[in-house]
Structures are given as C-alpha cells and as structure tokens.
Structure 1
Amino acid sequence: MGWAALELLGLALSVLGWAGALLVAALPMWRVSAFLEHNIVVAQSTWEGLWMDCVVQSTGQMQCKVHDSVLALRPEVQAGRTLTVLAALLGLAALLVTVAGARCTTCLKAGRVKARVAGGGGALFAACGLLVLVPPSWFAHLIIRNFYDPAVQASQKREMGAALYLGWAAAALLLLGGSLILAAALRSNPPQAPAFPVKYAAPRRSPSASPTAEYDKKNYV
C-alpha cells in the first residue's frame, strides 16, 4: 500500500471517529438504570447523559429534560462536557490541517512543508482521541465503583450505557487514524537538500604540456 493510500485511510478513520465523538457527546445513554433484585417487570428506565436526562416508559414513550444548572452538575459531567467540546473543536482543526497537507490536495506546494502539515494534522487527531477517551473511562470507573458499593441503594445504582462503548470505539478510531496519517507523513517526507551546494571547478592544465603541443593535437583532430 502506498503512502498516499495509507494517508487517505487514516483520514477516513479519523473523520469517522470524530463523527462518532460528536454523536457520543449528544447521546443521553451514558448511565442507565440497573435492573436488580430480580425485577422483571419495570415501569420505566432512566438514561443520564452530559446534556439531558431521559425517562423511558414501558409503553415506549420517552421524556427528556435538559440540565438546568451547570454549576449544580456532578464533577464528571462538567469535565465530560468540557472535554467533549474541546475534542470537537480539536477534531475540526485537525481535519482542516490534514486536508491542507494531504497529498491529494493542492492547498500547499508538495515538499517538506506539506508533509509536516499533514503530520501535524495526524498528531492533532491523536490528541483528539485522547480527549475523547477520558470521559467514558471516568464514567465507567464511577459506575463500577458505585455498583459494587453496598452503601448505595439498589434504586440508585446505574450501569454503563451504549454511549460509553461508542466513545471508546471513537477514541480508538481517532488514535489509529491519526497514527496512520503521522506515519505516512514521516515516511513520505522527501530528503533534505544539502546545505552547501557542490561547486565544480574547471580542470587545471598540466604545467608540463606546452601550448604548441595542444595546438598541434587540435589540428590533427
């Protein structure tokens, strides 16, 4: 596989991961109700997200309410909001930088500068993946800790929602895509020209050769 194809593959994976990160930030299924104590028939289930909470009835009806106060939110929710917004902005910047430095575009002249710009875009995508990875991992740690805490009531325990798994998948795509873009940019970087150009001097004439002999040789030729 050529380096240009590897770069396009990394860009496609990164864009897919960035779109997944935007979807994860909007989904309310970060924490869902845990069905404990062998309760088979449940009237409703609760979904908790970064921006809203939803209650799903057994009949299929769903009611959602946006969080009123930002300062009253739990620390992990506030940090999750901040990191997801930063990841969205960083992913947009990484996309613009990578497209400008990609081999298939003519935004910049081909050379070392274009390769470095593409590598910078790959590094930004990888950093975006790290930002996306933090909130789902933090939520999963808190959910597991509270689930096995005997002091927490059964009605207050939650399980990991689908948004956490999608967040991990999006982070993996961003890290993989950014790494591929960076590797393609580093491997396709053209060699640097020598700092001092080589100068060629005219050949010296031997002191033993006389001008008359050289003139005779030219006449015979």
Structure 2
Amino acid sequence: MICCLIHILGLLFGTIGMILTWIVTIMPYWRLAVLAENNDLIIDGGRIDGEWISRWDGLWITCLKQPQINLICNNYGSMVSLTSDLKAARIFMSFAIAMSVIAFIFSVIGFVLNQCCRCWGDKGSERHCFTLTAGLLYFLSTLLVLIPVIWTTVNVSRRAYDASYTRGAVRIEIGQALMLAWPNIVFLLLGGIILTFLCCCCSLSTCCTEEPCKPSVYKQHPAREERASCSPRMEYI
C-alpha cells in the first residue's frame, strides 16, 4: 500500500512537471526588452515616437506591447533575429517535452503493472523496469530544462545594459517563463527522485505479497475439525 501511494505521488509530480514543460516552451515571455524613445521602430508603416514599448521574446514568437495598441505577436522572420541562447533553448526544450511525455507513459505503465502484480501474485521484476526508466527520463528532462534556463538567465543578467546586446532597448529583463521554469524543474526532479528510488526502497516481496487478489482457499472451521476427529470414536462405540 505504501509503495502504491509513493508511486502515485511520483506520478503526480511528474505529470505536473510535464505540463509545466509544455507551458514554459510555448510561452512568449522568456525575455522582456523595454525599447527606448524615438527608436525608429516601424509597425504597419508607421513610426512610434515618444512612447515606451515592451517587447517579449519567446522561443517561437515575439510580441510587442504599447499602451495604445494591443499585444501584437508574430513569428520570427528568420533565425538571425534569435540569439544563441534562445536558439539552443528551442532544441533543449523540444527534447525535454519528448522525454517528459515518454516518462509519463512509462510511469503509467509501471503503475498499472504494479497493480496487476498484486492481483496475480507475480514476483517478476520486469514491471520495475518501466518505473525506473520513467524516473531516469524525468532526470534527463530536468537537465534539459535546466541548461537553457540558466543560460538565458545568465545572459540577461550580465548584458542587461549592453547596447550591442539589447539592440536599442533601454534594458532587458527576465520574463515570466523563466520564473515559471524553476517550479517546473522542481516538479520534474521530485518525480524523477521518487520513481527512481521507489524501485530501490520497495522490494518485490513487500510490493507483491500484500493480499493478492487470488480466490482464497476454503478453510474448515476448527469446531468442525474437532467433530471430524471424534467421528471414529463414535463409530467405535
């Protein structure tokens, strides 16, 4: 029962981490750039002067926010407009999504096989391979998310006021996606730790001997056994 609850907890943490990985990857708020006044920015053929503009850079789209204009989001025209950290983040986060989805599938299969083991009384160790693989894949997903998050955060912190890096912006800041990525890393790491060490802490004997679902053998009542033992004496008399 304890192993089952631990497995459910690891499955829950891993699922939350997988969902957050999707959200962080899709969000366009990886980096915020506050554009300066009179920066010759052209939008729909017009020039914006004397206004502060916020530009959000994501992995797939970039958005502009100005007080009199709603949020405008467009795809990147070319890979040249992307910095090296965001280019690498595309690859790392795509692999992180794939690894987290596979880990989720393996953890579900391991949980189902765990329940079947209890019902069938199977003492094989094949079912633990799925749980262990899911835990290792969650560890790999954590690493794949951690690398681009740290890379982008360090670049933004070091070059916040570098004119060559900001490209005409007054300053750049860390976006909400990078802030949300840290809870994402924590959930993926917890899911990996729980599912990995579940196979080490819960042995096969403790997981498979908890009241298997086989039909129980009928046992004769003690009083009836005594009567049966006394029957030869009655026949003798």
Q: Give the TM-score of the pair, scaled to structure 2.
A: 0.70
> What amino acid is the match of 1:3?
C
The equivalent of 2:192 in structure 1 is: 178
1:165 aligns with 2:179: yes
> What amino acid is the match of 1:21?
T
Tell me: CA distance 1:9–1:59, structure 2 relative to 1, closer, same or farther (3 Å): farther
Q: Is the 8 A contact 1:119 1:186 kept in 2?
A: no
The equivalent of 2:57 in structure 1 is: 48
**Cα distance between partner residues in 1 of 2:187 and 2:137:** 13
- Aligned-pair identity in percent equals 26
Cα offset, 1:128, TM superposition = 0.7
Greater radius of gyration (CA): 1
1:28 alignment partner, SS class: coil
Alignment gaps of 5+ in structure 1: 192-221
**Pairs aligned (count):** 188
Q: Deviations over 1:38-74 (max 9, x none)?
A: xxx9642110111011001214611011012236532
1:70 aligns with 2:79: yes
**Cα distance between partner residues in 2 of 1:183 and 1:58:** 52
**Cα distance between partner residues in 1 of 2:76 and 2:170:** 19
The equivalent of 2:7 in structure 1 is: 7
Q: Is the 8 A contact 1:125 1:178 kept in 2?
A: yes
**Cα distance between partner residues in 2 of 1:151 and 1:77:** 17
Q: Deviations over 1:71-129 (max 9, x none)?
A: 65322111100011101111111111111112555499663111232111111111111
1:157 alignment partner, SS class: strand
> What amino acid is the match of 1:125?
Y
Q: Give the TM-score of the pair, scaled to structure 1.
A: 0.75
Tell me: CA distance 1:156–1:50, structure 2 relative to 1, closer, same or farther (3 Å): farther
Q: Is the 8 A contact 2:30 2:176 kept in 1?
A: yes
Cα offset, 1:34, TM superposition = 4.5
**Cα distance between partner residues in 2 of 1:60 and 1:68:** 21
Q: Is the 8 A contact 1:94 1:122 kept in 2?
A: yes
The equivalent of 2:92 in structure 1 is: 83
Alignment gaps of 5+ in structure 2: 37-49, 206-237
> What amino acid is the match of 1:147?
A
1:32 alignment partner, SS class: strand
> What amino acid is the match of 1:144?
S
Q: Is the 8 A contact 2:35 2:52 kept in 1?
A: no
Q: CA RMSD in A?
A: 2.8
